[in-house]
């Protein structure tokens, strides 16, 4: 594992960044396109996750390994269940083999899918034999992963009968379900989303003239950078009227001294992010609908000296790593004593210790690397291990960080 030294230099007053395209929208659009009788050419996010998704969709092999791409694992489980006459073993990384998938498998089996566990019960790898699914009614726990629900939604139009998904228990990441529904409607499918029920009509996808928007999750690292530097950052093509739930973080960041102005003129189209006065002395935040922003806020607020309680994080232990434990471990290296409560809450009461400044471990998690990187502006130098993990969603992140006057070099 390589270690890299980040060193902060002179921060420019204004910087312009071109964000990667949305990974979440890309993976959904790619799957719907594969289900369409007339697939279109789609310019998708150029990152590991979307590349893995596309490669699997185009594969005729009987063994497909999607590595660490969690979204692809969920979506492709549903997709391969519909490929009549085709049998495939769907596998992933060692971490992926520890991420539960039984709620989705059980729901698909209810709809007629032929899926077996090729390893440990309840986890990948899966042996899937595609067939025509019957549709009808299915229940699923909505408090584990919204991706399970989106996966069922997207294959709904291919079934023999209209699909009704009944959502049981408390719901998380609801904006991602709304994103899936919006895309399906845009591509010609009848979708009705109620509080605890989703209805999908039978039909065929029709995809044309579709452009994927920039990634709002990626934008949050530049909001964090503005908070730490006071610079103004322009984010090209970032949309206010977005399909992405993480776009709501713009309002949340305003509480912590970061303002967003959307501009569309002959010179620039996108968002200008700049510093403003902040009054927040302690933060109480529920990120249940935006869990991908948790690392950004957890790190940023510590760096700003704003104690916090962040709730709605029940999905974080089952992400690329256990993100709650990872945040606690790595923030301690910077001198911040963070605690975990109830498996879904992160708390920092302002407690500090002497920093060790050991290299920040990234745990093969792209968001750990990007969320911690802006700490270099506070401490002037920062060591991070395995910075290449950003290729999962934002391959050009370090090039963009260099525009902020940061130099990056390998030291071990």
Average pLDDT value for the chain? 96
Q: pLDDT tens, 99-131? A: 999 999 999 999 999 999 999 999 999 999 999
User: Residue 278's pLDDT is what?
Assistant: 82
Q: Is it the case that residue 70 has pLDDT exceeding 80?
A: yes
User: Residue 265's pLDDT is what?
Assistant: 83
User: Residue 143's pLDDT is what?
Assistant: 87
Q: Is it the case that residue 134 has pLDDT exceeding 80?
A: yes
User: Residue 40's pLDDT is what?
Assistant: 95
Q: Is 234 helix (H, G, I), strand (E, B) or coil?
A: strand
Q: Same CATH topology for 3-20+213-410 and 23-200?
A: yes
Full DSSP string of 125-166: -EEEE------EEEEEETTS-HHHHHHHHHHGGGSSS-EEEE
Reported confidence tier of residue 201, pLDDT bands at 50, 70, 90? very high
Q: Is 8 helix (H, G, I), strand (E, B) or coil?
A: strand
Report d(CA 302, CA 350) in Å as an integer.
Answer: 8
User: Residue 412's pLDDT is what?
Assistant: 73
Reported confidence tier of residue 264, pLDDT bands at 50, 70, 90? confident
Q: Is 236 helix (H, G, I), strand (E, B) or coil?
A: strand
8 Å CB contact between 255 and 278: yes
User: Residue 266's pLDDT is what?
Assistant: 77
Other beta carbons within 10 angstroms of residue 381's beta carbon come to: 12
What is the arithmetic mean of pLDDT over 339-367? 97
What is the arithmetic mean of pLDDT over 209-221? 96
Q: Is it the case that residue 1 has pLDDT exceeding 80?
A: no
Where helices occur in 189-339 by DSSP H, the ranges are 216-229, 249-253, 294-304, 323-333
Percent residues over pLDDT 70 in the chain: 100
Show which residues are catalytic. Answer: 292
Looking at the domain 23-200, which fold is it? UDP-n-acetylglucosamine1-carboxyvinyl-transferase; Chain (3.65.10)
Closest among 131, 136, 190 to 165, alpha carbons compared: 136
Report d(CA 392, CA 52) in Å as an integer.
Answer: 10
Task: State residue 8 phi and psi, 5-degree precision.
Answer: -80, 135
Q: Is it the case that residue 244 has pLDDT exceeding 80?
A: yes
CATH superfamily of 3-20+213-410: Enolpyruvate transferase domain (3.65.10.10)
What is the arithmetic mean of pLDDT over 154-165? 98
Q: Which helix (H) or strand (E) holds 106?
A: helix 102-110
User: Residue 172's pLDDT is what?
Assistant: 84
91 vs 39, 98, 120, 124, CA distance in Å? 26, 11, 12, 6
User: Residue 318's pLDDT is what?
Assistant: 86
Domains in the chain: boundaries: 3-20+213-410, 23-200
User: Residue 209's pLDDT is what?
Assistant: 86
> What is the Cα gyration radius of the chain?
21
Q: Is it the case that residue 279 has pLDDT exceeding 80?
A: no
Other beta carbons within 10 angstroms of residue 314's beta carbon come to: 18
User: Residue 93's pLDDT is what?
Assistant: 94
Q: pLDDT tens, 71-106? A: 999 999 999 999 999 999 999 999 999 999 999 999
Q: List all residues 6 or more positions away from 169 whose beta carbon is below 8 Å from its beta carbon.
A: 141, 142, 143
């Amino acid at each position: 594992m390589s270690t890299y030294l980040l060193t902060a230099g002179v921060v420019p007053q204004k910087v312009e960044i071109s964000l990667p395209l949305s990974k979440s929208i890309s993976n959904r659009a790619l799957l719907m396109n594969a289900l369409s009788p007339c697939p279109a050419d789609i310019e998708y996010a150029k990152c590991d996750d979307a590349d893995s998704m596309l490669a699997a969709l185009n594969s005729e092999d009987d063994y497909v390994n999607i590595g660490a791409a969690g979204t692809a694992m969920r979506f492709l489980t549903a997709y391969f269940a519909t490929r009549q006459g085709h049998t495939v073993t769907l596998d992933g990384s060692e971490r992926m083999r520890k991420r539960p998938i039984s709620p989705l498998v059980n729901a698909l089996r209810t709809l007629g899918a032929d899926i077996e566990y090729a390893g440990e019960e309840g986890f990948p790898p899966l042996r899937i034999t595609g067939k025509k699914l019957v549709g009808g009614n299915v229940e699923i726990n909505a408090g584990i992963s919204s991706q399970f629900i989106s996966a069922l939604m997207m294959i709904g139009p291919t079934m023999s009968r209209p699909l009704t998904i009944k959502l049981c228990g408390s719901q998380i990441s609801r904006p991602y379900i709304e994103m899936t529904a919006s895309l399906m409607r845009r591509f010609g499918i009848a979708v009705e989303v109620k509080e605890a029920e989703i209805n999908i009509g039978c039909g065929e996808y029709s995809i044309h003239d579709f452009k994927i928007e920039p990634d709002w999750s990626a934008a949050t690292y530049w909001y964090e950078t503005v908070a730490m530097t006071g610079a103004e950052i322009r984010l090209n093509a970032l949309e206010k009227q977005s399909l992405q739930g993480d776009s709501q973080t713009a309002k949340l960041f305003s509480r912590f001294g970061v303002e967003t102005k959307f501009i569309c003129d002959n010179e620039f189209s996108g968002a200008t992010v700049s510093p403003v006065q902040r009054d927040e002395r302690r933060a109480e935040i529920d990120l249940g609908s935006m869990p991908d922003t948790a690392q950004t806020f957890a790190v940023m607020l510590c760096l700003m000296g704003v104690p916090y309680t962040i709730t709605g994080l029940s999905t974080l232990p089952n992400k690329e790593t256990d993100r709650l434990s990872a945040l606690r471990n790595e923030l301690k290296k910077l001198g911040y004593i963070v605690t975990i409560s109830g498996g879904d809450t992160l708390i920092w009461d302002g407690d500090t210790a002497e920093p060790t400044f050991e290299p920040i471990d990234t745990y093969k998690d792209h968001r750990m690397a990007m969320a911690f990187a802006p700490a270099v502006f506070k401490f002037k130098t920062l060591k991070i291990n395995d910075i290449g993990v950003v290729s999962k969603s934002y391959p050009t992140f370090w090039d963009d960080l260099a525009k902020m006057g940061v130099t990056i070099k390998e030291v071990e």
